[in-house]
Amino acid sequence: MPYDHSRGSLEFRVTSPGGVEMRNAIIFVLSVAAWAAPAHAGIVLTLSDLSSDETSPDDLSATLAFTVSGSSLDLIVTNATSLTDGFDITEIYFNTASDITGLTLGSGGSGWTLLADQRADGFGTFDYALLNDSGNDLFEIAPGESLSFTFGIVGDGFYTDADFTTQLSSIPPGSHPAIAAAKFVSGPGDDSAFGAVVPEPATGLLMLSAIAMLTGRRRRHA
């Protein structure tokens, strides 16, 4: 199996009757290895831990799957509410790491608008929100449906899935800091509410402590 310098690649040459079987075996092994290699699965956030009103968080069910590849973000939103008496999803909220300075909405955004610094009732202000402001029910995410969005990432640094799944919303008094949120509408009795993903208590304390330390350092250097 000599190296062909003119091609810049390995070249398989059959030099004996058994060479064909050996070549085919190598190709087969390489093909299986490529097929079996785990794909980049991203990070999935599951809603809802909290509700903005008396609606049960268990009834506000959805998943947000974030997958980063280079300077591109794929977001798949799945409405997991009941097929019989569930909710539609019309708004999606999430945050980004500080090295991300902008997002541009690409494919999958028909009927949806991407806006920065948007507030979700009860959960503060998020870095970005996808809003179905078309007024057309066809663009809402119905129970059992999924919708994919693709974004271009603007900023400095090497981007990861965690850049979109660990940051907290900024909160006014009476609100809960959240990692992500969604607005659920047209539920039983025409009910609507916001559902959110919040960090576990221990994780939340660590995040808040880190934010406090960074704030303190900035004030001392100011």
Q: pLDDT tens across 32-75, in order?
A: 444 444 456 799 999 999 999 999 999 999 999 999 999 999 99
Residue found under tokens 């799957």: 65
Residues 102 and 159 in one domain: yes
218 inside domain? no
Confidence band (pLDDT; 50, 70, 90) for 196?
Answer: very high
> If you search the block for the tokens 């809003």, which residue do you land on?
131
Residues 2-19: tens digit of each pLDDT? 434 444 433 334 344 555
Q: Residues 103, 74: contact at Cβ < 8 Å? A: no
* Summary mean pLDDT of the chain: 80
Q: What is the mean pLDDT of residues 106-131?
A: 93
In a domain? residue 222: no
Rg, Å, the chain Cα set: 24
Residues 164 and 81 grouped into a single domain: yes
Enclosing domain of residue 70: 43-206
What digits encode the pLDDT tens for the residues 122-153? 999 999 999 998 777 888 999 999 999 999 99
pTM to 2 decimal places = 0.74
Q: In the structure encoding, which two tokens stand for residue 135, read together? A: 């007024």
The CA-CA-CA angle for residues 126, 153, 163, to 5°, reads 55
Domain CATH number, residue 167? 2.60.40
CA distance 120 to 35: 42
Beta strands, E only, the chain: 3-4, 9-10, 43-47, 50-51, 62-69, 72-79, 88-94, 100-105, 113-119, 125-131, 146-155, 180-185, 193-197
Report the domain count for the chain.
2
> 219 in a domain, yes or no?
no
Query: If 0-12 CB within 10 Å is exposed, 13-18 middle and 19+ buried, where does residue 169 land?
Result: buried
